[in-house]
Structure 1
Amino acid sequence: MTLELLRGTVRPYAWGSRTVIAELTGNPSPAPHPEAELWFGAHPASPSTVDGTALTELLELDAHGHLGTEITERWAGRLPFLIKVLAADEPLSLQAHPSAGLAAEGYAREEAAGIPRDAPERNYPDPTAKPELLCALSEFHALAGFREPRRSVELLRALDCEPLRPYTELLAGQPDEDGLRALFTTFVTLPSSALEQLLPAVVDACVRHVRERGEFDLECRTALELAERYPGDAGILAALLLNRLVLQPGEAIHIAAGNLHAYLRGTAIEILAASDNVLRCGLTPKHVDVPELLRVLDFAADEMPVLKGEQHGAVRRYQTSAEEFELSVAELDGAAARAVLTACGPQILLCTEGTALLRAASGHERVLGKGEAVWSPAKDGDISVTPVEEHIRTTVYRASLPSGQ
């Protein structure tokens, strides 16, 4: 089995688009329901299939044959990464993911407490970390990482909101990680009576700032958008402390453990560790555990690095500190062009533009159309990518383990 078509699964979350994934995969658009994510991988909740057989089942039957001996032993016979097309028409929840150590500890604690793994109040359904890399396919809007504290003080003061002043001065008096932790904790633990007084005043201040075309127009518009969708949610205040990002196609961000973030809108490729561990802060009807969130969060603050990838011929690679994955993309503009994706164990290849001819070092070939993906086991080796249609841009994303594993 080699270069076999991999059938993805659609996750129909309410914040998803009715058009993006449908059009990518050639299905009727608009779709009858929102389609938020298209998953390719061996996640137990929604495994992809090869010839009707779940990838999880194939790995159980022959992990060594699919993953290779070294990777099978390193990752206990499971595929550690998952690649998705993410299509957001509305904001996702404000959230963070635990480190490997905290995930293992939290999982053991909840197992001992007898909390069912599918219980809505469960924080740690598995014992693994969940780093992520998001790479924009369209203009993509996000909140990610705490803004440098002095800059956040400037934003809060620019709102000129009297009820907000004591909180602003709390951070101004200690513009560092500890000050951020204190202000964030204060915001997300405000009694409902205090929140009901503060939030409307902050929203009014944001309206004034936008009308006056103030310096923090984008941040205030975001707060207003969140307030409209989640009225009364303390996450609106927390969002004012985060970096507001607008990614252009090809730009990416790495969401490491403890990084508070919320994806707002746009289409992207997301590659991540195959874990479900999420600690939510707000902007969601789902379970929020503030004490546990505070254990997980990283309050180191600065501008969020935007990755553009390292160019190697026609291939760009997005390298991070994550052990579980690496994202590469082959971008080709004509029939004479060719890219080689160097083998890093098992691979998933996903075509987002054009039509590509894939040739594996093992000798197998496969034509891959827009919206299609293939599973390439470790034995395939390097894979060359060549456009089928002349003068048609062809783009193929590759999910793999990092080089050297």
Structure 2
Amino acid sequence: MDRLSNTVRPYAWGSTTAIPALLGTAPTGEPQAEMWMGAHPGAPSRIFRRPTTETTATPDGDLTADDAAAAATELAGAELALTDVIAADPVGELGAATVTRFGPRLPFLLKILAAGAPLSLQVHPNLDQARRGYADEEARGVPIDAAHRTYKDANHKPELICALTPFDGLCGFRRPTEAADAMESLGVDSLKPYVDLLRAHPEEAALREVLTAVLGADPAEMAETVAEAAAAAERLGGAHAPYARIAHHFPGDRGVIAAMLLNYVQLQPGEALFLDAGVPHAYLDGLGVEIMANSDNVLRCGLTPKHVDVPELLRIVRFEATEPGVLRPEAAPSGEELYETPADEFALSRYTLAAGGDPAELTAAGPQILLCTAGALRVGDLELAPGESVFVPAGEAVEASGAGTLFRATVGA
């Protein structure tokens, strides 16, 4: 078991205060959006691993200067990227079953996500779509770091966000009639064609036609529509207030109108959302624990200056109205509270431990990342404060005790 040293990503939408407050550090004034825990090649966690055997001197008892330096480094241990640790012994770190299912890599990525402004309105492909899209762009020679590249890898990206603070976002299409009512109540003439389409066609056709029209609208005309809609939303408040807030961050962005097609959802601490392939969504504000399949595949449809691949986006989106489906954890007799999802790559659960209570037994057949989000905990022989985490190799026996909240990320059943 190893304590993790994790990278914080400074994306522009990140909160300047939420992650520092969790970690008990002073804000830097810069956005701190995500803290990554895992073995993603873009920012792998690092561990400090001590050697299991001691270096001995040469037979005559003498060491050269280089030998002495190497011996001192070995005895002191070394900081290693978790990607390298896993690559050196995939079966030992991940377990044979995980390697058989997903290959020699950690199949999930755990994050602390701190949204101070809306994230891009986006959707993720399913596994077959990701494989086909990645193969196509590779065959066409699109550079992996090109701004117009859509598929960064051949994997899908189901994800789960669990709120640590009040957290709001957009998740899935709402019924076309509800979207039509919301748009019409703003009293903006240029929204009337969208209102008419939403009311004139069956659900799938209505949602597809309106999103296609919004994404294909003249930019100057759309900017004017967004400005009028934002002013009306600001004036009316109530259920319209989120759209005014979104437009404040993205003035003139077509994603503001696209957002009106989606369900607005507010999570309380401990509640979660699961985002499957094809479901449009955007996080707006709050601090949460996020877990996902280890992928970078995102297709954006607004609230971003980045590339929007409209034809591919329209092929990936599932044009069906859905309820947001707020998840609450299911408690087991062991004290584990599990967030049930259909994902194969990951499972997320939570333990709320009390001082003097029985320790939580956390041994698992697969690899685990354990994250403290509140209180003071002891995991094995390591003390964890909020925001600190450990990596536990497959099958390693481990217990947790103390008073606080511990999230457990592992491979799905």
Map 1:288-303 → 2, pairs under 5 A? 288-303=308-323
- The equivalent of 1:371 in structure 2 is 387
The offset of 1:229, in angstroms, is 1.8
Q: Which moved more, 1:289-298 or 1:36-45?
A: 289-298
Query: Partner residue of 2:101?
Result: 74
Per-residue deviation, 1:297: 0.7
> 8 Å contact 1:126–1:276 — kept in the other structure?
yes
Rate the CA distance shift 1:148–1:333 in 2: closer, same or farther, 3 A: farther
Give, in whole Å, the separation in 1 of the partners of 2:158 and 2:252.
30
Give the residue type in structure 1 aligned to 2:404: T
- Within a 5 Å distance, the mapping from 1:224-263 to structure 2 comes to 224-263=244-283
Residue 137 of structure 1: aligned partner: 164
1-structure distance, mates of 2:365, 2:266? 31
**How far apart are residue 95 of structure 1 and its match?**
0.7
* Aligned residue number for residue 331 of structure 1: 352
Matched, 1:37 2:34: yes
Any idea what the Cα deviations from partners look like across 1:194-249, whole Å, max 9, x if unmatched?
32443333233323432xxxxxx23x212112222212211010000111111000
Task: Verify the 8 A CA contact 1:150 1:175 in the aligned structure 2.
Answer: no
Q: What residue is the counterpart of 1:93 in the other structure?
A: 120
TM-score of the pair, normalised by structure 1: 0.91
Q: Is the 8 A contact 1:344 1:401 kept in 2?
A: no
Deviation at 1:34, TM superposition (A): 1.3
Using the alignment, how far apart are the partners of 1:105 and 1:380 within structure 2? 37
SS at structure 2 position matched to 1:378: coil
How far is 1:309 from its partner? 1.3
Are the structure 2 counterparts of residues 185 and 379 from structure 1 closer, same or farther at C-alpha, using a change threshold of 3 Å?
same
Q: Secondary structure at the match of 1:6?
A: strand
The worse-fitting range, judged by mean Cα deviation, of 288-297 and 340-349 is: 340-349
Aligned position for 1:213: none
Question: Which of 25, 46, 49 lines up with 1:49 in the alignment?
Answer: 46
Alpha-carbon distance, 1:110 to partner: 0.5
Equivalent of 1:384 in 376, 391, 399: 399
Q: Do the aligned residues in 2 keep the contact of 1:148 with 1:303 (CA within 8 Å)?
A: no
Partner of 2:53: none
CA distance in 1: counterparts of 2:23 and 2:264, whole angstroms: 31
Range moving further from structure 2, 172-181 or 156-165 = 156-165
In structure 2, the residue matched to 1:272 is: 292
Partner of 1:25: 23
TM-score with structure 2 length normalisation?
A: 0.89
Letter in 1 for 2:113: L
Query: Secondary structure of 1:225's match?
Result: helix
With over 3 angstroms needed to count, the CA separation of the structure-2 counterparts of 1:136 and 1:181, relative to structure 1, is: same
Shift of 1:294: 0.7
Note the C-alpha offset of 1:303. Answer: 1.7
Is the Cα contact below 8 Å between 2:126 and 2:156 reproduced in 1?
yes
Match of 2:9 in 1: 11
| 1:19 to 1:342, Cα distance in 2 relative to 1, 3 A | same
Alpha-carbon distance between aligned partners in 2 of 1:39 and 1:207, rounded to the nearest angstrom: 36
Is 1:341 the equivalent of 2:368? no
Aligned mates of 2:191, 2:32 — CA distance in 1: 38
**Matching residue of 1:320:** 341
Matched, 1:354 2:362: no
Deviation at 1:62, TM superposition (A): 0.5
> Partner of 2:408 in structure 1?
398
Match of 2:184? 157
1:147·1:241 contact (CA, 8 Å) conserved in 2?
yes
How far is the alpha carbon of 1:115 from its aligned partner? 0.9
Is the 1:93–1:281 contact (alpha carbons within 8 Å) kept by the matching residues of 2?
Answer: yes
* AA matched with 1:373: S
Aligned length: 382
Does the 8 Å contact 1:39/1:48 carry over to 2? yes
Deviation at 1:23, TM superposition (A): 2.8
3-state DSSP class of the match of 2:89? Answer: helix
Conserved in 1, the CA contact under 8 Å of 2:108 and 2:346?
Answer: yes
Higher deviation after alignment, 323-332 or 185-194: 185-194
Which residue of structure 1 lines up, in the alignment, with residue 70 of structure 2? none
Distance 1:227 1:74, change over 3 A: same
CA deviation digits over 1:139-184, x for unaligned, max 9? Answer: 0010111112222222223223332222101111124122111111
Question: 1:31 Cα deviation (Å)?
Answer: 1.9
Higher mean displacement: 257-266 or 13-22: 13-22
Q: Which runs of 5+ in 1 are unaligned?
A: 211-216, 360-364, 388-392
Instruction: Supply the distance in 1 between the matched residues of 2:4 and 2:235 (Cα, whole angstroms).
Output: 51
Q: Contact between 1:138 and 1:267, CA under 8 Å: does it hold in 2?
A: yes
1:330 partner letter: Y
The one-letter amino acid of 1:288's match is V
After the TM superposition, list the runs of 4 or more consecutive aligned residues in structure 1 that deviate by more than 4 angstroms: none
Cα deviation for residue 26 of structure 1 reads 3.3
Contact 2:363/2:396, CA 8 A, preserved across alignment: no
C-alpha distance in structure 2 between counterparts of 1:386 and 1:157, whole Å? 55
How far apart are the structure 2 equivalents of 1:271 and 1:145? Answer: 19
User: Which residue of 1 is the match for residue 69 of structure 2?
Assistant: none
Q: For 2:227 and 2:267, locate their aligned partners in 1 and report how far apart those are by CA, in whole Å.
A: 30
* Post-superposition CA distance 1:333-364 (Å, at most 9, x none): 332243333514100001111122224xxxxx
Q: Distance in 2 between matches of 1:83 and 1:339?
A: 21
The C-alpha deviation readout for 1:20-52, integer Å capped at 9, x for no partner, is 22232233x112421111110000000001111
Indicate conservation of the 8 Å contact 1:346/1:378, yes or no: yes
Does 2:133 align with 1:106? Answer: yes
**What are the Cα deviations for residues 365-391 of structure 1, in whole angstroms up to 9, with x where unaligned?**
43322221111000214x43211xxxx
Letter in 2 for 1:400: T
Gaps of 5+ in 2: 49-78
Matched-pair contact (CA < 8 Å) for 1:319–1:402: no
Q: Is the 8 A contact 2:223 2:254 kept in 1?
A: no
The separation in 2 between residues aligned to 1:197 and 1:270, in whole angstroms, is: 36
Summarize deviations over 1:42-68 as a string: whole Å, max 9, x none: 000000011110000011110011011
